[in-house]
Structure 1
């Protein structure tokens, strides 16, 4: 089956910035571990721009994951083809990890790998948490939903939009019962949503075109977890995506704060 690109992938620029997460700084020396993984040859591969962010002082790094202590890790970047292997390596080295904080999460450049990581998070029984100032966008929303328990602090933000495949087609270009749609609906149900809730959430993520964004606050996302009854609201819309390929910016680990 043709590779899918993240359902919420590809923000070129972002309006505003969330409040800085309290107590988060970057350690000067962090060593990346590069781990090979097996992925389909036609997997999507796309760069997305993202903000520089405050991240916790880390004792180890595995791709976009930062190990804060033996019980806690953080996600601070884009997931890709190597991320499943990086996540496995992190759990191998730190088997007592219990919580994943999603801090600055632009999305993914390989949705197959991203959904695989989500299932790994659920299988490991990790809690997912978005702290005050945390930003969860694109395919990272699927990773947040993967938590066995999920915590959203006031001041967290989320953003969604329609997925785009490797031929440039969006969700509404496909028949309602297509395999592409079933992939995401099955994932949401595997993450604990009832069938009707999964459909409603999926329709919401595809309610704006790929080159725009629907921004959700903490209360908006809590609604989708069944915690508040209010309807999700649009906070900000990002329109007029640039035609040129976005520049992928990397977190600056040479700085101690931003």
Structure 2
């Protein structure tokens, strides 16, 4: 049973003292070495040419499993630090992340960091995120512009930043070189009342989706809520509206090892 008290959409608790704030994004695999073939006029060249393409085509395969976000988004630790600096470092909290069971992020584990001004979600493997999302539940157009600028600042390529700056604040979805840039309005079914701007690798998001067996390992049922008066409106739960089951939340320190989500060691 998760020990955190859950209220509304997100359940604040003190920031988790873990290594998540200082994650280091692993770089891409180096290019495979290429050996130069010298022509041997006196010998047939065909045997050498048969083996060389096979070696070159198989070497890059492991790198293809990494999300396109790598090398284009800054690393997770800097994403969290940038969000906190711009949106409230003093009240930053890592909070339980409710299992989303609809939309593009359905059953994709994620980490949530919250301040009084907004929310940051990092999806998939924390060391190799498949996507990042920032949102608010209430805010003026100027706040949305600030969030759009913040999101652009997380990108390392000028062309990607240009795409983000070109997004409509009302609703939009653009793609560039394997990345999706999206603004989701509060009226969308998957927004649950919030305004969101997200950047993700759709193929990596699909690969990051947890299986039923993994969900049993890294998600727990949220504790029952106590009836307490609140000064501010509740945030809607990020679960499918048609389900009648209790909310589940991901454990805060899950990790992914050898392609599978696991609990931290006791």
Structure richer in strand, relative to its length:
2
TM over 0.5: no
Return the TM-score normalized by structure 1.
Answer: 0.29
Is the radius of gyration larger for structure 1 or structure 2? 2
Return the TM-score normalized by structure 2.
Answer: 0.29
